[in-house]
Structure 1
Amino acid sequence: MDAFNTDTIIQMVTTYGIKVIVALVILYIGIKVAGFAEQRLTSTLRKREEIDEMLVRFLGNVTRYGIIAVVIAMVLNQVGIETASIIAVLGTIGLAIGLALQGTLSNIASGVMLMVFRPFTIGNYVEAGGHGGTVTAVNLFTTELTTPDNVQIIIPNNAVWGNSVVNYSCHETRRADFTIGIAYSDNIEQAIATLKQVIDSDQRILRDPEPLLVVSELAASSVNITIRVWTKSADFWTVKFDMTRRFKEELDRAGITIPFPQQQVHLVRSPGAE
Structure 2
Amino acid sequence: MENLEGQLEELTPMILEHGLSVIGAIVILLIGWWLAGWAKRKVMKRGKAADGVDNTLVPILGQTTKILILVVTLLAVLGQFGVETTSIVAVLGASALAVGLALQGTLSNIAAGVMLLILRPFKVGDAVEIGGTTGVVDEIGLFTTELHTFDNIGVIMPNSEVWGTEIKNMNRFEKRRVDMVFGIDYSDDMDKAIEIIKKVLSEDDRILSDPPPQVAVSNLGDSSVDIITRPWVDTPNVWPVRFDITKKMKEQFDANDISFPFPQRDVHLFKEN
TM-score (norm 1): 0.92
Equivalent in 210, 214, 217 of residue 215 of structure 1: 217
RMSD between aligned residues = 1.7
Q: Per the alignment, do residues 3 and 93 of structure 1 end up closer, same or farther by CA in structure 2, a change over 3 Å counting? A: farther
Q: Distance in 2 between matches of 1:105 and 1:28?
A: 30
What is the aligned partner in structure 2 of residue 262 from structure 1?
264
Specify every segment of 5 or more residues in structure 2 that has no aligned partner in the other structure, as ranges.
Answer: none
1:69-100 deviations in Å (ceiling 9; x for gaps): 11111111112223233334334444323212
| 1:13-28 matches, cutoff 5 A | 13-28=15-30
**Aligned-partner residue type, residue 146 of structure 1:** H
Q: Per the alignment, do residues 83 and 129 of structure 1 end up closer, same or farther by CA in structure 2, a change over 3 Å counting? A: farther
Q: Which moved more, 1:47-56 or 1:253-262?
A: 47-56
1:23-58 deviations in Å (ceiling 9; x for gaps): 111111112222233333333333432321111221
What is the aligned partner in structure 2 of residue 196 from structure 1?
198
Contact 1:61 1:140 in 2 (8 A): no
Q: Distance in 2 between matches of 1:130 and 1:247?
A: 31
CA deviation after TM superposition for structure 1 residue 177, in Å: 0.5
CA deviation after TM superposition for structure 1 residue 224, in Å: 0.7
Q: Distance in 1 between matches of 2:15 and 2:95?
A: 32
Contact 1:144 1:153 in 2 (8 A): yes
| 1:121-136 matches, cutoff 5 A | 121-136=123-138
| 1:56-71 matches, cutoff 5 A | 56-71=58-73
**Aligned-partner residue type, residue 71 of structure 2:** A
Q: Per the alignment, do residues 258 and 130 of structure 1 end up closer, same or farther by CA in structure 2, a change over 3 Å counting? A: closer
Q: Distance in 2 between matches of 1:113 and 1:9?
A: 57
1:212-236 deviations in Å (ceiling 9; x for gaps): 1000111111111000011111111
Alignment partner of 1:52 is 2:58: no
1:126-153 deviations in Å (ceiling 9; x for gaps): 1124422111111121111012222211
Q: Which moved more, 1:44-53 or 1:100-109?
A: 44-53
CA deviation after TM superposition for structure 1 residue 9, in Å: 3.5
Partner SS for 2:178 = strand
| 1:38-187 matches, cutoff 5 A | 38-187=40-189
Superposed structure 1 runs of 4+ greater than 6 Å apart: none
Partner SS for 2:173 = coil
**Aligned-partner residue type, residue 5 of structure 2:** A
Specify every segment of 5 or more residues in structure 1 that has no aligned partner in the other structure, as ranges.
Answer: none
1:191-242 deviations in Å (ceiling 9; x for gaps): 1111112111111111111011000111111111000011111111111111
Contact 1:129 1:155 in 2 (8 A): no
Q: Distance in 2 between matches of 1:161 and 1:134?
A: 16
Q: Distance in 2 between matches of 1:210 and 1:130?
A: 31
Q: Distance in 2 between matches of 1:37 and 1:57?
A: 12
**Aligned-partner residue type, residue 255 of structure 1:** D
Contact 1:58 1:115 in 2 (8 A): no
Q: Distance in 1 between matches of 2:119 and 2:10?
A: 61
1:146-167 deviations in Å (ceiling 9; x for gaps): 1222221111111111211111
Q: Distance in 2 between matches of 1:27 and 1:101?
A: 27
Q: Which moved more, 1:93-102 or 1:60-69?
A: 93-102
Q: How many residues are matched? A: 271
Contact 1:107 1:142 in 2 (8 A): yes
1:223-270 deviations in Å (ceiling 9; x for gaps): 110000111111111111111121112111111111111111111223
**Aligned-partner residue type, residue 244 of structure 1:** T
Same amino acid, percent of matched pairs: 45
What is the aligned partner in structure 1 of residue 31 from structure 2?
29
Q: Distance in 1 between matches of 2:254 and 2:10?
A: 100
Partner SS for 1:54 = coil
